[in-house]
Amino acid sequence: MELKKKVLIVEDNANARELIVLVIKQAGYDVVEASTGLEAVDQAHALHPDLILMDLGLPGINGDEATERIKADPSTRNIPVIVTTAFPRQSSLVQRAIAAGAAEIVYKPVNFTALAEMVQRYSSRDAQTHYYCQTPTSYPR
């Protein structure tokens, strides 16, 4: 029996997190949840998920700083981080998340079908190539 891939979902809005959790679970993944940037860093270090979906506007430390901390640690740096945000591409938070090593930026409102496909692509341990979504063609703003 193959173990399910684990996805860490980091979102401070409980309703948004609940929807994302539902979509990712229905796609066949185990889900771990965090609602703050510090929780995300702690969960990443403790559980080593296969993928992290990271909101940017979080209480405490923002998602860009949480991503930076995760990517700075050799034990977690290879975990792909997909950022979900309503901030515009030109915002400093988005730019810092990209600089920190975010694999891709998904703009809210999220297209859940496309998100599930992206999770499948990035959750593969063989997926070493990361792509940046510079123009949100699949993800309406």
Q: What is the pLDDT of residues 18-65, one digit of tens each?
A: 999 999 999 999 999 999 999 999 999 999 999 999 999 999 999 999
Residue 2 has a pLDDT of 66
**Per-chain mean pLDDT for the chain:** 88
Residue 103: pLDDT above 70?
Answer: yes
Which carries the bigger pLDDT value, residue 7 or residue 124? 7
CATH number of domain containing 108: 3.40.50.2300
Q: Is the residue at 119 inside a domain?
A: yes
Q: How many CB atoms lie within 10 A of CB 39?
A: 20
- With respect to residue 136, please indicate whether it lies within any of the assigned structural domains: no
129 falls within a domain = no
Three-state DSSP class for residue 43: helix
Does 133 map to a domain?
A: no
Confidence of residue 139 (pLDDT cuts 50, 70, 90): very low
Give the model's confidence band at 3: pLDDT under 50 very low, under 70 low, under 90 confident, else very high. Answer: confident
Nearest to 83 by CA among 46, 27, 126, 134: 134
Domain presence at residue 135: no
Q: How far apart are CA 84 and CA 96, in angstroms?
A: 13
Confirm if 86 and 70 have CB atoms less than 8 A apart: no
Q: Which has the closest alpha carbon to 102: 141, 134, 130? A: 130
Cis before 49 (ω within 30): no
Sequence-ordered list of residues with C-beta below 8 angstroms from that of 101, at least 6 positions apart, any chain: 67, 68, 71, 77, 81
Residue 140 lies in a domain: no
* Domain that residue 12 falls in: 6-123
Is 20 a member of any domain? Answer: yes
> Which H/E stretch holds residue 55?
strand 51-55
| Domain-located, residue 130 | no
Using the predicted structure, report yes or no on whether residue 133 has a pLDDT greater than 70.
Answer: no
The number of domains in the chain is 1
